[in-house]
Amino acid sequence: MRKPGPPFFLFLCACLALFISQTSPSASEAIHEVKDLNENWAERKDGKEQSPIDVNSDNIQVNQSIGSLITSYDISHAIMQKNSHVIMVNWTEGAGSLLIDGKAYVLGQCQWHLPSEHKLLGERYPLELHMVHRSSDGDIAVISIMYQFGPPDPFLFKLMKFVAILVTNDVVPAGLVPPPVIEIGAPYYRYMGSLTTPPCTEGVIWSLIQEARFVSKGQVRKLRSALHRENNARPIQPINGRAIFLYKPWAQEEHMKYLDRENLCRKSSFLKWLLCHSNHK
């Protein structure tokens, strides 16, 4: 019996991509096609809570009550796909979930932006990864990870052979793909924003991991080569008075230790007080 040739598999991939784009609730809006970074995308004049933003110190409030990011991810079948503005991983049946305020948001897609769309304290990074989640009632939550140049990123490393295929193809099956690991207790910024691709839907819960990870320059070059463009980042949008919360699990603990140390020092002699402060500066 004759085995199916490469054209058959390419046709199968194209059909699978079309099916996912039309039926998957976790990816349908996030991969909306655009032709370029046009004016309507760059600045949506009717939106007041658009993304991305510059997370700066003027708007940051430490808030422990929002809690740690709780994820339960699973390895799952996926395809890698590109359109005119983004390269993405689409999980065909979801890859686990993110829990926010008791509601589960299923991970359906990861996509890369070069350079980073968000700025953290005024700094733009070479790469940003968006992990797009959607709840059963259609709400959207995105985890964002920034990358600085250094050693190769392990998540992207596993996918580089598929990225190479995307140089000449729009879709390729990637087999079983484990999502990136999100550490419990990792500090992050939280704000309400929008999708960064059309239709730029608002009401999106953004969680931006505070600590940048590493990606190699070679990995970034290969992403650009497959995308056939240098920049796929939407411009920074106005904050418009929005609150930005910082979850930092040890912030309250550090503050209490500081108060205890001050009380102990005040009970000591003046000399001990000086020694105490010199040891804890």
Q: Say yes or no: 235 and 208 in one domain.
A: yes
272: domain range? 250-281
HSE of 100 in the Cβ direction (CA atoms, 13 Å)? 19
Q: Which residues are catalytic?
A: 85
Q: What is the mean pLDDT of the chain?
A: 83
Q: Say yes or no: 98 and 226 in one domain.
A: yes
Q: What pLDDT sits at residue 129?
A: 99
Percent of the chain with pLDDT over 90: 67
More confident of the two residues 123 and 31: 123
Q: What pLDDT sits at residue 267?
A: 53
Q: Are strands 96-100 and 127-134 parallel, antiparallel or unpaired?
A: unpaired
Q: Say yes or no: 61 and 19 in one domain.
A: yes
More confident of the two residues 96 and 9: 96
pTM above 0.85, yes or no: no
Q: Say yes or no: 140 and 55 in one domain.
A: yes
Q: Say yes or no: 145 and 261 in one domain.
A: no
Q: Say yes or no: 268 and 216 in one domain.
A: no
Q: What pLDDT sits at residue 9?
A: 45
Q: Give CA 218 to chain center in angstroms.
A: 20
pLDDT digits (tens, 9 = 90+) for 232-278: 999 999 999 999 999 998 755 554 454 455 555 545 555 554 555 55
Angle at 111 between CA 105 and CA 116, to 5 degrees: 110
d(CA 115, CA 25): 27
Question: How far from each other are the two terminal CA atoms of the chain, in whole angstroms?
Answer: 77
In a domain, 1, yes or no: no
CATH number at residue 100: 3.10.200.10
Closest C-alpha among 236, 212, 216, 235 to residue 224 = 216
Q: Say yes or no: 244 and 255 in one domain.
A: no
Q: Say yes or no: 84 and 130 in one domain.
A: yes
Q: Which residues contact 127 (CB under 8 A, 6 or more apart)?
A: 112, 113, 114, 115, 116, 146, 147, 215, 220, 223
Q: Say yes or no: 193 and 154 in one domain.
A: yes
Q: What pLDDT sits at residue 58?
A: 84
Worst-scoring range by mean pLDDT, 41-50, 66-75, 226-235, 257-266?
257-266
Q: Say yes or no: 107 and 126 in one domain.
A: yes
Q: What pLDDT sits at residue 16?
A: 46
Residue type, 12: L
In a domain, 128, yes or no: yes
pLDDT surpassing 60 at residue 226: yes
Q: Count the domains in the chain.
A: 2
